[in-house]
């Protein structure tokens, strides 16, 4: 039976990489019932609302979405629709794997899964302006909230993921030396949960700034990383750089009532509409979605097709030093899905 899935092509390069991804998914032979919905700037243009009720209703029904990037205005303007979707569907764990595809580069044999807390910390949107020195914008304040229950479920997710995927170590990344309460609570909970997994999954702790440095000096020491929202946002872009950049970095937002799969990257306005974006990140996110549906064999076929296209066929988009367009690359991957 065809599975119902909400599809949000999104903004910027979103529609281009979505087209390529749909071709690859079709090549698996599985049949999906795509419910196309709007979000972000595309939704503002069509309906005046960046997150239309129809989009929410669709995800409530399907409990599963494949989503392109959504543009968020910098500074003022509407709040992030990505953050709103994560909140609406309690998508508490953001799973971002990064694995080397092209060997013999500056970094080799990278295989890191970052699990980012996706709902709390500084991303709750409690910010305000305070008057200072007669200037209404003389001071800005932001509230960070970390809860024991929120930390528990995401850290448990990371350890459980490690145990189930045969991974050896979970690194808890924090800033508890300075943020003694918010980061301190996350670390305290991490230490407790690590005890439950003693003998099965190793645990180590790193302060965020050291972790950022260790990632570029000795990335091979990392296996699974679990961290709070902002640190996870920054580290996942850094980690994507170890495997060839944002064009190769997928992510899954896992929640209690739904799951949304997307690329780590944004709408890339600098290259949008040119047909040169790398669709691999969204294709790999679609493979994670297949795993989530229990179709792990199909997920593996898609991942192998990406590797075969990039490595054996040497068909590559510009970000990886090639000349293939988004469409040509997508077609090449689809042909490789066997």
Catalogue the active-site residues.
123, 175, 209, 233
Q: Is 262 in the site for ligand NAI (CB under 6 A)?
A: yes
Residue 319 binds ligand NAI (CB under 6 A): yes
Least Å distance, CB 240 to ligand NAI, is 9
Applying CB under 5 A, the span of 29-37, 129-137, 228-236, 279-287 interacting with Mg ion comes to: 228-236
Cβ neighbours around 7 below 10 Å, total? 20
Nearest CA to 13 out of 250, 274, 233 is that of 274
The entry of ligand NAI, Mg ion, none that residue 233 binds, CB within 5 to 8 Å by partner kind: Mg ion
Q: Is 271 in the site for ligand NAI (CB under 6 A)?
A: yes
Q: Name the closest residue to ligand NAI (Cβ).
A: 266
Comparing CB distances to Mg ion, the nearer of 242 and 290 is: 242
* Chain-centroid distance, C-alpha 320: 20
Alpha-carbon gap, residue 8 to 124, rounded angstroms: 23
- Give the span between the Cα atoms of 50 and 259, in whole angstroms: 20
> 120 or 233: whose CB is closer to Mg ion?
233
Give least dist CB 233 to Mg ion, A. 4
35 vs 262, beta carbon nearer ligand NAI: 262
Nearer to ligand NAI, 71 or 171 (CB): 71
Q: List binders of ligand NAI among 63-92 (CB under 6 A).
A: 69-72, 82
Q: For the residues of 159-211, what is the DSSP string, one character each?
A: HHHHHHTT--EEEEEE-TTTSTTHHHHHHHHHHHHHHHTTTTSEEEEEEHHHH
Window of 111-119, 135-143, 207-215, 277-285 that interacts with ligand NAI by CB under 6 A: 277-285
Give Cβ neighbours of residue 128 (< 8 Å, ≥ 6 apart): 140, 141
**CB-count burial class (<10 Å; 0-12, 13-18, 19+) for 135:** exposed
Site for ligand NAI in 81-140 (CB under 6 A): 82
User: Residue 35 or 233: which CB sits closer to Mg ion?
Assistant: 233
Using CB under 6 A, count the residues that bind ligand NAI.
20
| Ramachandran assignment for 300, one of left (phi > 0), alpha (psi -120 to 50 degrees), beta (any other) | alpha
DSSP, residue by residue, 37-86: ---THHHHHHHS-SS-HHHHHHHHHHSEEEE------SSSSSPPHHHHHH
- Count of chain residues binding Mg ion (CB under 5 A): 1
**Residue 109 per-residue DSSP state:** S
262 forms beta bridges with: 67, 251
- The window from 91-99, 132-140, 159-167, 276-284 that contacts ligand NAI (CB under 6 A) reads 276-284
Picked from ligand NAI, Mg ion, none, the partner binding residue 262 (CB below 5 to 8 A depending on kind) is ligand NAI
Q: Could you give the CA distance from residue 338 to residue 333 in angstroms, rounded to a whole number? A: 10
Binding-site string for ligand NAI from residue 211 to residue 250, where x marks contact by CB under 6 A and - marks none: -----------------------------------xx---
Tell me which residues touch ligand NAI (CB under 6 A).
13, 69-72, 82, 246-247, 262, 265-271, 277-278, 281, 319
Tell me which residues touch Mg ion (CB under 5 A).
233
């Amino acid at each position: 039976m065809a599975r119902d899935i909400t599809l949000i092509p999104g903004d910027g390069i979103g529609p281009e990489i979505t087209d390529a991804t749909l071709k690859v998914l079709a090549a698996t032979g599985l049949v999906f019932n795509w419910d196309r919905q709007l979000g972000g700037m595309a939704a503002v243009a069509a309906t005046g609302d960046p997150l239309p009720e129809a989009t929410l209703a669709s995800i409530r029904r399907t409990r599963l979405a494949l989503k392109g990037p959504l543009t968020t205005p910098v500074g003022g303007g509407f709040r992030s629709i990505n953050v709103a979707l994560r909140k609406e569907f309690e998508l508490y764990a953001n799973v971002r794997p990064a694995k080397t595809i092209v060997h013999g580069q500056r970094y080799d044999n990278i295989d890191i899964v970052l699990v980012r807390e996706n709902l709390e910390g500084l991303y709750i949107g409690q910010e305000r302006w305070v008057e200072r020195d007669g200037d209404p914008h003389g001071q800005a304040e932001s509230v960070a909230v970390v809860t024991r229950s929120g930390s528990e479920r995401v850290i448990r997710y990371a350890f459980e993921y490690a145990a189930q995927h045969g991974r050896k170590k979970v690194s808890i990344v924090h800033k508890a030396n300075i943020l003694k309460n918010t980061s301190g609570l996350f670390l305290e909970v991490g230490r407790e949960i690590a005890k439950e997994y003693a003998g099965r999954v190793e645990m180590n702790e790193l302060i965020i700034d050291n972790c950022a440095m260790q990632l570029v000096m000795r990335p091979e020491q990392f296996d699974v990383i679990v961290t709070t929202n902002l640190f996870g946002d920054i580290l996942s872009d850094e980690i994507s750089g170890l495997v060839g950049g944002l064009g190769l970095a997928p992510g899954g937002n896992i929640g209690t009532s739904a799951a949304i799969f997307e690329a780590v990257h944004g709408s890339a306005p600098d290259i949008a509409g040119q047909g040169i974006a790398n669709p691999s990140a969204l294709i790999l996110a679609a493979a994670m979605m297949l795993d989530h549906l229990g179709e792990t064999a199909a997920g593996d076929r898609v991942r192998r097709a990406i590797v075969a296209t990039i490595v054996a066929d040497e068909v590559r988009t510009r970000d990886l030093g090639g000349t293939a367009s988004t469409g040509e690359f997508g077609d090449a991957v689809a042909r490789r899905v066997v």
